[in-house]
Amino acid sequence: MSHPHPELGPPPKLPEGGLRVTPLGGLGEIGRNMTVFEYGGRLLIVDCGVLFPEEEQPGIDLILPDFSSIRDRLDDIDGIVLTHGHEDHIGGVPYLLREKPDIPLIGSKLTLALIEAKLQEHRIRPYTLEVAEGDRERLGPFDCEFIAVNHSIPDALAVAIRTPAGMAVHTGDFKMDQLPLDRRLTDLPTFAKLGEEGIDLLLVDSTNAEVPGFVPPERDISNVLRQVFAGAQKRIIVASFASHVHRIQQILDAAHEYGRRVAFVGRSMVRNMGIARDLGYLRIPAGLVVDVKTLDDLPDDEVVLVCTGSQGEPMAALSRMANRDHQIRIVQGDTVILASSLIPGNENAVYRVINGLTRWGANVVHKGNAKVHVSGHASAGELLYFYNICKPRNLMPVHGEWRHLRANAELGALTGVPKNHIVIAEDGVVVDLVNGSAKIVGKVQAGYVYVDGLSVGDVTETSLKDRRILGDEGIISVFVVVDSTTGKVVSGPQIQARGSGIEDAAFSAVVPKIEEVIAKSASDGVVEPHQLQQLVRRTMGKWVSDTYRRRPMILPVVVEV
């Protein structure tokens, strides 16, 4: 197995007749999925998603793939193939289309409907090409065949990309549910045919590669939901991904069976379920769904609320209910169902929400105490089965953290893929398929690009470090006025602290030290404001560290008069 190395330099020119694969997101992380394929000077992109921030990224809304390696080649892009409609696969599309709005988007009916609704908010009208399983489209030099795969959203597709260099198959996210709610199976016969034809490079979803066995079927959830509905005495509040149409269908079916009305809460939930209903993916009996404003007129035991926030997102409806910051107030006896799995990294936020809801008297049903969710990603048993069908010549695990990628690689090796034909890469690592062999050849820039409000890419790691310091240690500002000629203190130092935990009166002990260091610098002829600011920062920082063992941000301001 080949592994990336920190010392990798820029990749060489792609050999004639070779296929280059560059993941710009989704390797080493769950989210931000984006892979660039290059052949003959042309580019094809598969997915363009976002990653959601963690606690150590305060103030950040979204994290995008880094487009810098393709920014001067936007005219070379023949299309963006979208495997399915989840945010970690389509959320970055508006930001790429801002740079070139006419890049074609290729995807299934539901996937395109979801991205078109998102692009409408960005005032972008995309050029789209709708495809379905079994379709085959030529995009520049890339001959793309689309294959049905089963996932936790309808209409998911894998894509086989044929070029003169060989065939690459990207699974997108998939599993092999044998009893899917929509009866749309992962198309194993087509994958078997592709295997017989010869898959030169297989890029495979790794998310559940560490989980043994097979993922239980989605329909197992229905009986559990019925039991929860049967035992609920008051309102039922269900938190789910706004794109999990199958799970919402199960909720609607249970609500209909137990004589409850359903209201969708949250902009993305209302929008996505409206799209799914209009396209026929969601079957809603007449009169079942009502406006949230009418719920006050219904008894509590006839109400179901479906909202976002299953991952503990601070601004989502469920988190705000837990914090008593929402129009819907949790009361004793309410039942809350978290109908989703935990995305790695979100555990603390989710448990904080569960504790908040429980505090107000809710009965919280989640994956830890009831079977209210099954994963949308293939487990180890399914992956082994899949490899034996596809028989890839080269394997590249994608979509997962390092432990998932490594586990997936080991599964491939068990089924007979030679270890020297298994590539474990990471974001930015360039893989070339030449003469039937896939090898790491270099690395391009693929760092995090932060979205903060309307700002894209302006927030740097340094900015985030400052935010973390402010959040952890607070800030101390020191304002001093000095004589521009003599350098002596005319006014101040005035010291203010926010969030440092130090009382204002305590700063009287450091004022003489600051005056002393400024006076000494004046006698040495150092009167330039910037240099004086550095002296003040060091003096204040040392005093705080020695006295309190703290490291707040020090903001010195020296003004000359």
Are 480 and 492 in contact, with CB atoms under 8 Å apart? yes
Single out the residue of 305, 259, 310, 275 nearest to residue 114, CA to CA. Answer: 275
- Burial (Cβ within 10 Å: 0-12, 13-18, ≥19) of residue 278: exposed
d(CA 7, CA 19): 23
Token digits of residue 1:
């197995």
The phi and psi torsions of 442 (rounded to 5 degrees) equal 170, -170
- DSSP annotation of 401: -
Beta-bridged to residue 495, according to DSSP, are 478
Chain-centre distance of CA 3, in angstroms? 24
- Asked if residue 175 lies in contact with residue 342, where contact means CB atoms within 8 angstroms, the answer is no
Q: Residue 435 contacts by C-beta under 8 Å, 6 or more apart in sequence?
A: none
Say which amino acid occupies 381: G
213 is in an annotated binding site: no
How would you list the strands of the sheet with 303-307, edge to edge?
261-264, 303-307, 236-239, 335-338, 363-365
CA distance 466 to 237: 38
Query: Residue 122 annotated as binding?
Result: no
Cβ atoms of 33 and 20 within 8 Å: the answer is no
Task: Find out whether 373 is annotated in a ligand binding site.
Answer: yes
Q: Is residue 376 part of an annotated ligand binding site?
A: yes
Q: Edge to edge, what strands does the sheet with 449-452 contain? A: 62-64, 449-452, 455-456
Closest CA to 65 of 42, 86, 89: 89
DSSP label at residue 286: T
Helices (H), 148-200: 188-197
2 is in an annotated binding site: no
Known binding-site residues for substrate equal 373-377
> Which residues contribute to the annotated binding site?
373-377
